[in-house]
Amino acid sequence: MENFIDIYHRSLNKAGEELCGDQVRIIKTPDKTTIVLSDGLSSGVKASILATLTTDIIATMVREDTDLREVLSTVIRTLPVDQERRIAYATFTILTIDHKDNQFRLVNFDNPEPFYLKNGSIRRLNMRVNKILGKKLFFADGSFELNDFIGLVSDGILYAGLGTTMNFGWGWENVAKYMEQEVFRRKVFAAHSVVNSVVSVTNQLYHFSPGDDATFVGVLARKRNSLMILSGPPIDDGHDYIYVDKLLDFNGRKAICGGTTANIVAGFLKAKVETELSTMRPDIPAIGRLPGIDLVTEGILTLAATLDLLQQSEGSLDKLQLDNNGAYLLTREMLAADAIHFLVGQSINPFYQNPLLPKNISIRRYLIERIAEVLDQYNKDVNIELC
């Protein structure tokens, strides 16, 4: 898929509960992306276990490329039924987007109707009903084009405000109107902005004490934001020009991590790295400036601090304290990017080498591999090229 599939989800736990009874799983393969939202009956530990069981079954079978009807049949057979209320112990919504032709398929079982916005306007999905093992499931198909948005929700989102002037809660229509008028009117082109806005209002309507688990999964098709990071000199200094050319020709944001690396690029640009002393912190060196490069930082110390910040962020810059230092700025670049390509020089500086690591693996490479693992958890496309 040429456009990037921007996915973000956020949940509110029912007041007093440590575990959320809603669960979300994202399964990415070369051919498709599948998002699963499950809402376990009631709340707390039991609901969390049931929702986790549901998402795990679906995720496992999707990875094995199992036929959709068999997936649905397996889940329905596995889920027990509450004997008093005669309803399933967990609901679920499955959204699959094909990377080749942008087509999506949506399956909904007892969750609220998903939201579908095209060019910022709500469109009702043309849902058709199909029975599997006596259960009604709703299906929809469509084309997922640039700036389209699909929102999957658990019923806790719609129940917010229940018992107040909103007799039946916030409700589907009001959420849809809010997204049209308050969110997309501002031309927001990031899934996390839409989700955080809706969930924040939901929390306010609950008076910050949610009466139910509430989850919103936002899926937005938008232009891809790309970032290339060059860090460390190549093992063969005769190949410097190859990787400098790759960086300078890259169509996207460009960053350099490492003083020696910055000086190599500066030499090719016939420029000088200018240091911004105001960005220096006790444990993080100052950043530099080079023409045509969006960010220039020091190497190992900044990468180590960036790894910590990425883990603290949980994928959202809002969770970090604003600071104009190299690690924060590098974290911001990574979180804003959808695709991150690392060019990692393997020339090892013995001053930074850890004796516990194999001789052919530098601390720099180790840190970048750990950073890549965290970014992968945040739905980023990450590639590491050793040089």
Q: Is the confidence at residue 85, as pLDDT, over 60?
A: no
Q: Are 73 and 179 within one domain? A: yes
- Which residue in the block uniquely carries the two structure tokens 């107040």? 164
Whole-number pLDDT of residue 316: 84
Dihedrals φ, ψ of 235, to 5°?
-65, -30
Whole-number pLDDT of residue 240: 86
Please give the average per-residue pLDDT across 84-106, as a whole number. 84
CB 69 within 8 A of CB 6: no
Could you count the other beta carbons within 10 Å of the beta carbon of residue 258? Answer: 24
Beta strands at 128-132 and 226-231: parallel, antiparallel or unpaired: unpaired
CB 51 within 8 A of CB 90: yes
Whole-number pLDDT of residue 355: 52
Burial 55-76 (b: 16+ CB within 10 A, else e): bebbbebbeeeeeeeebbeebb
Whole-number pLDDT of residue 387: 84
Q: Are 283 and 145 within one domain? A: no
Q: Are 167 and 267 within one domain? A: no
CA dihedral (96, 5, 21, 214) positive or negative: negative
Alpha-carbon span 10 to 7, nearest angstrom: 11
Q: Are 193 and 84 within one domain? A: yes
CATH number for position 8: 3.60.40.10
Whole-number pLDDT of residue 88: 56
Q: Are 210 and 270 within one domain? A: no
Q: Are 190 and 300 within one domain? A: no
Q: How far is CA 366 from the centre of its chain?
A: 23
Residue-wise pLDDT for 161-190, tens only, equals: 776 666 678 999 999 999 988 777 766 678
Whole-number pLDDT of residue 253: 96
pLDDT band (50, 70, 90) for residue 296: very high
pLDDT band (50, 70, 90) for residue 2: low
Where a domain ends, among 172, 191, 222? 222
Q: Is the confidence at residue 359, as pLDDT, over 70?
A: no
The CA-atom distances, in angstroms, between 304 and each of 34, 150, 331 are: 33, 36, 11
The CA-atom distances, in angstroms, between 9 and each of 24, 166, 283, 379 are: 8, 25, 33, 11
pLDDT band (50, 70, 90) for residue 357: very low
Q: Are 67 and 11 within one domain? A: yes
pLDDT band (50, 70, 90) for residue 280: very high
CA dihedral (184, 185, 190, 195) positive or negative: negative
Task: Identify which has the larger pLDDT, 144 or 238.
Answer: 144
Please give the average per-residue pLDDT across 109-135, as a whole number. 91
Whole-number pLDDT of residue 215: 97
Alpha-carbon span 15 to 30, nearest angstrom: 39
37: Cβ–Cβ under 8 A, 6 or more apart, which residues? 9, 22, 23, 24, 55, 92, 93, 111, 152, 153, 154, 215, 217
Q: For residue 238, is it left (φ>0), alpha (ψ between -120 and 50) or beta? A: alpha
Whole-number pLDDT of residue 89: 79
Whole-number pLDDT of residue 266: 94
Q: Is the confidence at residue 351, as pLDDT, over 90?
A: no
DSSP 318: G
SS3 readout for 59-112? HHHHHCCCCHHHHHHHHHHHCCECCCCCCECEEEEEEEEECCCCEEEEEEECCC
In angstroms, how far apart are the furthest CA atoms of the chain? 77
Please give the average per-residue pLDDT across 75-88, as a whole number. 67
Please give the average per-residue pLDDT across 351-379, as a whole number. 75
Where a domain ends, among 222, 240, 269? 222
Whole-number pLDDT of residue 163: 65
Q: Are 212 and 346 within one domain? A: no
Q: Are 70 and 165 within one domain? A: yes
| Mean pLDDT, all residues of the chain | 88
Where a domain ends, among 202, 222, 242? 222
Which range, 163-167, 261-265, 362-366, is most confident? 261-265
Whole-number pLDDT of residue 360: 45
Please give the average per-residue pLDDT across 142-156, as a whole number. 94
Q: Count of domains in the chain?
A: 2
Nearest to 151 by CA among 168, 172, 169: 172
Q: Which two tokens stand for residue 344?
A: 């990692």
Q: Is the confidence at residue 244, as pLDDT, over 80?
A: yes
Alpha-carbon span 200 to 151, nearest angstrom: 15
Q: What range does the domain containing 238 cover?
A: 226-386
Q: Are 18 and 122 within one domain? A: yes
Q: Are 202 and 343 within one domain? A: no
pLDDT band (50, 70, 90) for residue 83: low
Q: Are 230 and 147 within one domain? A: no
